[in-house]
Structure 1
Amino acid sequence: MQLTRFTDLALRIVMRLSVLEEGQSATAAGLAEQLHVRRAHAAKVVTALGRLGVVETRRGRTGGLSLAASARDTSVGWIVRELEGPGEVVECDGAEPCPLRTGCRLRRALREAQEAFYASLDPLTIDDVAAAPTRALLLSIGSGPID
């Protein structure tokens, strides 16, 4: 299984925001520069994270982005499920349906493997994945602009 770039970037943004000092905030543009992605892509990811309640956004002169107060204990598995959506690992019923779909055992095995993947991420929180030694790396990329 492979995560979409969108989900990958969302996890990196959340991890980066998790190491900001109290009262410090970032911008989508600053995060895009630090994480070497396009600003538009980072902005879309931040919007999705805001809708999930993981990131708080404030407009205006003193605005910016920060991790929501309750987000540190959010399950990485939950975030990945929400961003990846309900899709299956393989598309059996698409425009050209697979001729094996009515009696295929592989589809069920892949669905179970996908759930096992998510389940392995469920116990991990944002704080867990941003802990040392990752924390030092996250802080080092933060030496560039965040706003």
Structure 2
Amino acid sequence: MHLGRATDIALRILMLASARREQVTIDGLAQSLNVPRNHVAKVVQRLQHQGWVRTSRGRGGGLTVAETTLELSVGLIVRHFEGPGEVVDCNGPPCPLRSACRLRNALRTAQEAFFASLDQVLLRDLLADPTGATLLALT
């Protein structure tokens, strides 16, 4: 399974902003994470819409991570960004094997195991050293 770019950026934004425990700017995040500013801005909008970050505009504006966000599972965050789809799309175009296929069920089971594993990891867990120290060292 391959995570989309937005999912990757979201996880890194949440990790960095959580580790800093202070307001960060979109420009600062883009520079620290080496990600285009417009990508960061789009992901921040989605994070803000979920209530996972708080944003403020204008001079001195930026974002902070809501304290409750630290208790979110990585699985929940990934599900939100990846959506409810399956690993393979058997319907478009329709696969001739879909009525008797065992692969789809095997892949669905693997995907559920993937998410179950990520459900055991909280955002807070990702901030432990050495990752936390590395996040704080990013400029």
TM-score, normalized by the shorter chain, greater than 0.5: yes
Pick aligned residue for 1:117 from 114, 118, 125: 114
Between the aligned residues of both structures, percent identity stands at: 55
Report Cα offsets for 1:94-119 as digits up to 9, x if no partner. 1x221111111110110111011011
Pick aligned residue for 2:102 from 98, 105, 111: 105
Hey, what's the Cα distance between the residues in 1 that align with 2:97 and 2:117? 29
Deviation at 1:140, TM superposition (A): 1.0
How big is the alpha-carbon RMSD for the aligned residues of Structure 1 and Structure 2?
1.0
What is the SS of the residue equivalent to 2:96? coil
1:120-135 alignment runs, 5 A limit:
120-135=117-132
1:1-147 alignment runs, 5 A limit:
1-21=1-21, 24-94=22-92, 96-141=93-138, 144=139
Hey, what's the Cα distance between the residues in 2 that align with 1:140 and 1:68? 22
- Which runs of 4 or more aligned residues in structure 1 lie more than 6 Å from their structure 2 counterparts after TM superposition? none
Report Cα offsets for 1:16-64 as digits up to 9, x if no partner. 011113xx21111210111111100010111111112111111222321
Q: Tell me the TM-score normalised to structure 2 length.
A: 0.96
AA of the residue aligned to 2:88: V
Q: Tell me the TM-score normalised to structure 1 length.
A: 0.91
Hey, what's the Cα distance between the residues in 1 that align with 2:38 and 2:30? 8
Q: Give the gaps of 5 or more residues in structure 1.
A: none
What is the SS of the residue equivalent to 1:19? helix
Hey, what's the Cα distance between the residues in 2 that align with 1:97 and 1:130? 43
- Looking at secondary structure, tell me which structure has more helix per residue: 2
Hey, what's the Cα distance between the residues in 2 that align with 1:79 and 1:11? 8
